[in-house]
Structure 1
Amino acid sequence: MMRSKLIASKEALENFQFVTINGRVIFNEKERVVRIARAYSQVVKSAIKPLFDGKSVDELTKEFYNILPNYVYLVTALKQARTITDGLLDREDEKGEIIHARIRKFWFASRGNRADKGNRNVKFHVLEDHVLIKVKDPWGKEWVRGKAYLGKEYLPLLHELEELAERKEEGYGAVISFKEKPMIHLQVPLWLYLKHFSSPKPNGYGLVAGFDLNSDRLNVVVVNKDGKVITTKTWWYSDVTRPGFPKEKARALRLNALSESLNFLSRIGVDYVVFEDLFLVRKKKFTRSKSGNRKVSRFAKKQMLIHGVIKSLRLGFNVMLVNPKGTTTSEDHERVMREKGFDRHTASAYLIALKGLGMLNDIK
């Protein structure tokens, strides 16, 4: 049986340290938790312009402490604002003007830390059918307590994480959000998640599958160790790009296509799956087409990538993320379309597979 591994850039690996587990939470004193969220959201919104103007997170920590008097909450909020600011700097329209941020979410977060026995501000204790939660109130001495329902299948994992945190061996991030009802989102270590939920597969035939993720389709090309094409396949979900198509339904269709493709690859003996390393791409490419821009802006490609990587690891595949340079517009891309008769998305999947094969050969 093979043990799955992830081969990727340093930038990408930083985004695959944790898996988020979501659940409903009921607080005894909801108004106290809402107060934290209001202060947190105010810090995020207020920090964007000064960060844009060049102020550092350290400078702003002192400036906003009177709004949110808790160092971990505050630094987490400021780093969230920094992420938003970096995204704005990367997304310029055709005139070179910065796209403005609209912060609609109502939430707060606390980063994890081993030294804080997992997390300084959000603690949990696993019981038989639910999880007790307590949240640090920056303005009060008493913790705010509640009950979280994260799914019974996650309780053994959370019990082990609780023990690791108590021994200062692992940390976990925590987010409390308020969209329709209070939710808790615990960020558990990826290795621990895979320990509890992966199903290692038997060794296949050393085949490599390249994925090209798109807003309306998923293209896969499988090659052998010599780079010869074994099969090509496309999963379509064209309806999701129609104006007004429900966002959650679109997401479900795309993720379902990913799951179907991985199950298919497992059956034919693929051992390695290859995706583009989107964490090396800094700008979204907008076009002159309004409908095209809608597809670009609404298609959460990076979210789909993260799902695909984690699902692949769970199913026992080795995963490689390759530099996307040249896989979409290049002389090689044009040549592959011309010589093999591939459409542009299949050609991209083929080049991604070859890049993965090259990376694999370099490692060997």
Structure 2
Amino acid sequence: MMRNRIICSREALENFQIVTINGKVIFEDKDRVVRIARAYSQVVKSAIKPLFDGKSIDELTKEFYDVLPNYVYLETALKQARTITDGLLDREDEKGKIIHARIRRFWFGSRGNKSDKGNRNIKFHVLEDHVLIKVKDPWGKWVFGKAYFGKEYLPLLKELEDLASKKEEGYGAVVSFKDYPMIHLQIPLWLYLKHFSSPKPNGYGLIAGFDLNSDRLNVVVINKESRVVTTKTWWYSEVVSHGFLKDKAKALRLNALSESLNFLSRIGVDYVVFEDLFLVKKRKFTRSKSGNRKVSRFAKKQLLVHGVIKGLRLGFNVILVNPKGTTNSEDHDKVMREKGFDRHTASAYLIALKGLGMLNDIK
């Protein structure tokens, strides 16, 4: 049997190459680091309209070099602007109008590269209880700081530092300033799983389908003969109420997902199946203001990424299936009618069936 593997489309696989770990950082000269962030943010904001108008990243690199005179910072900022632009093009409301961007974050990033010994602009060195950080100032010398991650991350970072010094791995890095300076290091997924995976006992070949929603999580477990073994729902209805804190809502959803995966591990599930949301290009908005609030505030792809990585850590094989037909289709209506499932449970069942179909196709 396959172990600890992800089965999905090529488009989806690109989104599961890294895991980000976060640490608080204290810089010796914070003002110089803030200057980098101001220039970086200015580039991101200023590049969105030209990108909409069809300008290329190469053209904008020359145009904005005076604002941020560092090629790697500039390239990373422009790719971030491109991602925002693509997201806006995909998010049309019911009248066909583009939803405008409001960029409130204050940060800067530098993409990783093996040939730069990990990263050209943001370096780290692991010590006994903290991590030394140095950041390249485009207008001057390096800026030094101390970062504090959990101690459990230090062996992982030490191995990444060794790999980077040998030009065997790169790592992306972001510095942000929401409440205080933070550094976010992008770790290769294989290395993260090497340090944080838990051994899972062999199960019974059961398959669990997940239907992720803004107010609940539905799971249906089937066996290899397509028979339903169990169904279960984790509720967090309060998170969609007006004024509910976004961070608290995120925590409740992630907690429900973690609880569900732990439950499935105990009952002998070997495969967990999610919809491949990276095949869905547009968010669907409705005439309902409350419904649109749920759509806009519910980071479903973020929840999916968490579920996939958590599933791999716990030793599951993870399958992502095409979501077409799992919500509105004749098959969906038939499942609701014949099995007496509500629409979300019916979706989870169809997702599980699609996962079983993919397994049968590759055997």
- Shorter-normalised TM-score: what interval? over 0.9
1:75 and 2:93 aligned:
no
Which TM-score applies when normalising by structure 2?
A: 0.99
Aligned-partner SS, 2:271:
strand
Which residue matches 1:254?
Answer: 253
User: Which residue in the other structure is 1:363 paired with?
Assistant: 362
What is the rounded CA distance, in whole Å, between the counterparts of 1:157 and 1:17 in structure 2? 16
When structure 1 is superposed on structure 2, of 199-208 and 126-135 the one drifting more is 199-208
One-letter amino acid matched to 1:129: D
In the aligned structure 2, how far is the partner of 1:359 from the partner of 1:238? Answer: 32
**Residue identity (%):** 85
Q: State how far apart, in whole Å, the 2-side matches of 1:17 and 1:44 are.
A: 24
CA distance in 1, matches of 2:131, 2:239: 37
- What is the aligned partner in structure 1 of residue 101 from structure 2? 101
Deviation per residue, 1:1-23 (Å, 9 max, x gap): 97301111111111110000001
Q: Distance in 2 between matches of 1:51 and 1:108?
A: 19
Which residue is equivalent to 2:338? Answer: 339
Question: How many Å apart are 1:200 and its aligned residue?
Answer: 2.0
Q: Which amino acid aligns with 1:68?
A: L
Shift of 1:150: 1.1
Task: Report whether the alignment pairs 1:24 with 2:24.
Answer: yes
Deviation string for 1:263-319 (max 9, x for gaps)? 110111000000000011010000111100000000111111011111000000000
Q: Secondary structure at the match of 1:35?
A: helix
In the superposition, the TM-score normalised over structure 1's length comes to 0.99
Deviation by residue 1:235-284 (Cα, 9 ceiling, x = unmatched)? 00001111011111111111111111111101110000000000110100
Deviation at 1:127, TM superposition (A): 0.1
Which residues in structure 2 correspond to 1:41-190 (within 5 Å)? 41-140=41-140, 142-190=141-189
The aligned amino acid for 1:58 is D
Partner residue, 1:266: 265
| Aligned twin of 2:3 | 3
Q: Give the match's secondary structure for 1:316.
A: coil
Measured in 2, the distance between the counterparts of 1:358 and 1:217 equals 26
Tell me, what secondary structure is at the counterpart of 2:208? strand
Superposition deviation, residue 42 in structure 1 = 0.2
State the alpha-carbon separation in 2 of the partners of residues 164 and 3 from structure 1. 25
Amino acid at match of 2:192: Y
Kindly provide the CA deviation profile for residues 105-124 of structure 1, in whole angstroms up to 9, marking residues without a partner as x. Answer: 00000000001000000000
**Per the alignment, in what secondary structure is the counterpart of residue 154 of structure 2?**
helix
Count of aligned positions: 363
Q: Secondary structure at the match of 1:175?
A: strand
Residues in 2 aligned to 1:263 and 1:228: alpha-carbon distance in whole angstroms: 22
Q: Confirm or deny that 1:236 pairs with 2:235.
A: yes
How far apart in 1 are the matches of 2:61 and 2:115?
21
CA contact (8 A) 1:116 1:168 kept: yes
Equivalent position of 1:290 in the other structure: 289
Is this contact kept in 2: 1:2–1:201, CA < 8 A? no
Write the letter of the residue equivalent to 1:349.
A
What secondary structure is seen at the aligned counterpart in 2 of 1:94? coil
> Which secondary structure state, in structure 2, belongs to the residue aligned with residue 38 of structure 1?
helix
The secondary structure found in structure 2 opposite 1:46 is helix
Which runs of structure 1 show a deviation greater than 3 angstroms over 4 or more consecutive aligned residues?
Answer: none
